[in-house]
Structure 1
Amino acid sequence: MLQMANYEFIRKQHILLGKPIRQISRETGYSRQVIRKALKSTKIPVYQLSKPKPKPVIDSVQPIILEWLRQDEQAPPKQRHTATRIYQRLVDEYGFTGGESTVRRYVRQLRVSPPKAFVPLDFPPGKFAQFDWGEVTVLLQGKQVKVQVFCMRCTYSRKIFVKTFFHQKQESLLQGHVDAFEFFGAVPQTVTYDNLTTAVKKVLEGKNRVEQERFVQLRAHYLFESHFCDPGKGHQKGQVENLVKFVQKQFFTPVPCVSSLEELNYFLLEKCISYETTTVPRSSLTVGEAFEQEQQTMLPLPPQPLDCCRVVSVKSNTLSMIHFEKNAYSVPVSYASTELTCKVFAERVEVYHGNKLIAEHERCLESGKELLQYDHYLDL
């Protein structure tokens, strides 16, 4: 194949020196067809195969490999052929004499997936928000502790709310929503979720779900709609998926050192407020400016926030203690051996006799602990 320098020589001979094509062909040995091609174009020559090169070693076993890969589509993901396993079977079952690298190269070519492409989504103001949990590690009073990160994002303005809890139990889910709506000063019309068990009892056909009663109570209180992703399709709420990664990298790197969860959540609240100066993608507006437009079309807050707790019936024993989640909490001795009601919040436990609050404890997330307040035993 001629190089660009050869093209240059031919063109100078013909255009500058006026030599005819036949003379140039005679002097250089190039065919007249090649010379005409050089005179017509100054593109850099690129070698192109007129037909694929034969691969005698792999060609004989191509149908076998294709059939095995076709069968793999019906097999469990962890029980599908690797290129090495295909090579081993070819050697054992068909006496294949080629090299493993030949098989690996061919299988790699077959498994090349087309590049991913997505349609940019456009959301109307006030209509949608997305929610997801994340997990991070923090230094809490000098100890490494894993905490759960509640993340919600409005899809039009990109306004965010982030708060940490010690767990992902239903009480945390409810409290996170209430705090997010209070922070927004309004309620999105629809919130998109994974099929988390604290909200969904059972996944039915299509988009239908049997939802948890406490979650339905949250929806009834704030009047928003819930939309659940298809199972295993978390990318259907890509904005909040990206928010979780952003928060982990930007808010929790390096690992924050705090004395309490309250201190950490105050730090996150400041981050959420400062995020409002960020520019909305494909827009000239900042998050704060876009949210001013969006807030006008969101649902109004109800007069009172939802009481975010689980109500559990308990009975105190003769030691004047109730048991909940493998821990014991004290109550005044005058209520020993009595039927009581326990309201379980994300971070505290309240004990009631009828409508009267008789005891309050910080919620313990360990097991086998006794949380006693000694003034409960003073009368005894």
Structure 2
Amino acid sequence: MIKEMKQKGMYITDIANELGCDRKTVRKWLNKDELPVYKRKQRPSKLDPYKDYIRQRMDEGCFNAVVILDEIRKQGYTGGDTILRDFMKPLRPQMKEKATVRFETLPGEQAQVDWGTVTVNWDGRQKQLHVFVMVLCYSRMIYVEFMEDEKLETLMGCHVRAMQYFGGITRKIVYDNMKTVVKERNHEGKVIWNERFAAFARHHGFIPWACKPYSPRTKGKVENGVKYVKMNFWPRVRTFESLHDLNIQARYWMDTVANVRVHGTTHEVPVERWRHENLQRFNLIPFETVERHKRRVSSDCQVSYESNRYSVPFQWVGQIVAVQDDKNGRIRIFAGDELIAEHTKASDRHQKMINPEHLKGLKHSSTPRKQTYQPRLVSSPIPEVSERSLDVYDRFAEEVNVHA
């Protein structure tokens, strides 16, 4: 329009007056060869913080907008489903092309195990906790436990509690190449198992299976499980009183969220599919997985462990007992194979964890002692002296002289 007005012979001042703009603006557009392109400024969307998670779920094979909407709403999304569907629609073809055919197992055939880590504020200092995750591959039932470390004894203890939670064990369990399970591989690539863990597996009747190095998709179900714990459970945790309390919160989450939701891949509820798992029984005879520390019970019904003191029933005063630290926030004390006491593990040093029931029947030092016979010292009395008149003594003297 500006150029047409100029070609008709109008002055720049007249064009500016006609269009209501500055003369400099008129000169600028007279020198340009193309029309301006205006872009609409995009406002931030409520969906923006969840787009990476949505892409991840679609990459895992979940294209159900209803399922994803439910999951992101639990994470804090407050928008509707229309913008979610509009965002997912162009991604579906490329995600479906990218998706690989997933290997699905039969009921009771396989479980997968992996570790994750999280950081907590532990009495004002940062501390790393280790997250044990076991997933049943058919039902997608998940077991989660927060631990102090990833040592072999800790790993085996987690297995036992997971088997108790599931009510059995699968025929095979898949691991990555963690050193507590896989000692090494020989020149042919054959796995050399950790002997003690292999004995543990034989004891409970399952077959350990190591995935190929640098091949995470062979245990993708449990890796997704670890991510799910970090993205769904961990943001819900505000405070916890101890490691044991944190595991109580994790158990509640398993029972009320993780194992009762509609799973994004199977589109079924894990606990419903778990009823068809047909898990095999594990060995009820304990395998010595955790080192027990022998201690003598003091006269005040306590034993010492890691600079803290824990009570036991008064009947065991003076006896040798064994302290077992499961590394999950619980201390258990045994007399032989009998569990006689259980405590929340102290979070610091020089603390006492006392169960008042343990002290009932204990004789306190204030009880009066039984008196024994003792001879008694008695002072002899001073004899009394009779007072007599001197005439009496004179008369006694005369009588003596007469008789003499």
2:274 to 288, 291, 313: 291
Aligned residue for 1:209?
192
CA distance in structure 2 between the partners assigned to 1:299 and 1:220 by the alignment: 13
Q: Secondary structure at the match of 1:151?
A: strand
Aligned counterparts, 1:71-82, within 5 A: none
1:275 to 238, 246, 258: 258
Q: What's the CA shift for 1:206?
A: 3.2
Aligned counterparts, 1:119-268, within 5 A: 119-140=101-122, 143-204=125-186, 205-213=188-196, 215-253=197-235, 256-268=238-250
Q: What's the CA shift for 1:139?
A: 3.8
CA deviation profile, 1:85-124 (whole Å, cap 9, x unmatched): xxxxxxxxxxxxxxxxxxxxxxxxxxxxxx9552222111
Letter in 2 for 1:249: M
Q: Secondary structure at the match of 2:275?
A: helix
CA deviation profile, 1:170-218 (whole Å, cap 9, x unmatched): 22101111110000001111110011112222223334223231x1232
CA distance in structure 2 between the partners assigned to 1:130 and 1:356 by the alignment: 32
Paired-residue identity, %? 29
TM-score, length-scaled by structure 1: 0.53
Cα pair 2:242 2:347 within 8 Å, conserved: no
Cα pair 1:207 1:228 within 8 Å, conserved: no
Cα pair 1:171 1:344 within 8 Å, conserved: no
Aligned counterparts, 1:295-310, within 5 A: 295-296=277-278, 298-310=279-291
CA distance in structure 2 between the partners assigned to 1:174 and 1:364 by the alignment: 23
Cα pair 1:142 1:257 within 8 Å, conserved: no
Provide closer, same or farther for how the CA distance between residues 128 and 207 of structure 1 changes in structure 2, counting only shifts above 3 A.
farther
CA deviation profile, 1:37-71 (whole Å, cap 9, x unmatched): xxxxxxxxxxxxxxxxxxxxxxxxxxxxxxxxxxx
Cα pair 2:323 2:333 within 8 Å, conserved: yes
Q: Secondary structure at the match of 1:268?
A: helix
Cα pair 1:330 1:372 within 8 Å, conserved: yes
TM-score, length-scaled by structure 2: 0.50
Aligned residue for 1:50?
none
CA distance in structure 1 between the partners assigned to 2:176 and 2:168 by the alignment: 22
Aligned residue for 1:106?
none
State the structure with more CA Rg: 2
Cα pair 1:139 1:258 within 8 Å, conserved: no
Q: What's the CA shift for 1:343?
A: 6.0
Q: Secondary structure at the match of 1:277?
A: coil
Letter in 2 for 1:192: V
Q: Which stretch of structure 1 is more off in the superposition, 228-237 or 357-366?
A: 357-366
CA deviation profile, 1:348-376 (whole Å, cap 9, x unmatched): 58799x9999999988999xx89999xxx
Letter in 2 for 1:291: W
Cα pair 1:349 1:363 within 8 Å, conserved: no
Letter in 1 for 2:220: G
Letter in 1 for 2:148: F
Gaps of 5+ in 2: 1-96, 296-304, 311-317, 354-404
CA distance in structure 1 between the partners assigned to 2:252 and 2:352 by the alignment: 36
Aligned counterparts, 1:78-89, within 5 A: none
Letter in 2 for 1:309: V
Aligned residue for 1:5?
none
Q: What's the CA shift for 1:241?
A: 0.6
Q: Secondary structure at the match of 2:105?
A: coil
CA distance in structure 2 between the partners assigned to 1:233 and 1:279 by the alignment: 28
Q: How many residues of Structure 1 are paired with residues of Structure 2 in the alignment?
A: 248
Cα pair 1:140 1:257 within 8 Å, conserved: no
Provide closer, same or farther for how the CA distance between residues 121 and 145 of structure 1 changes in structure 2, counting only shifts above 3 A.
same
CA distance in structure 1 between the partners assigned to 2:339 and 2:245 by the alignment: 28
Q: What's the CA shift for 1:246?
A: 1.1
Q: What's the CA shift for 1:238?
A: 0.5
Letter in 1 for 2:110: F
Provide closer, same or farther for how the CA distance between residues 371 and 209 of structure 1 changes in structure 2, counting only shifts above 3 A.
farther
Q: What's the CA shift for 1:162?
A: 0.4
Aligned residue for 1:30?
none
CA distance in structure 2 between the partners assigned to 1:226 and 1:185 by the alignment: 19
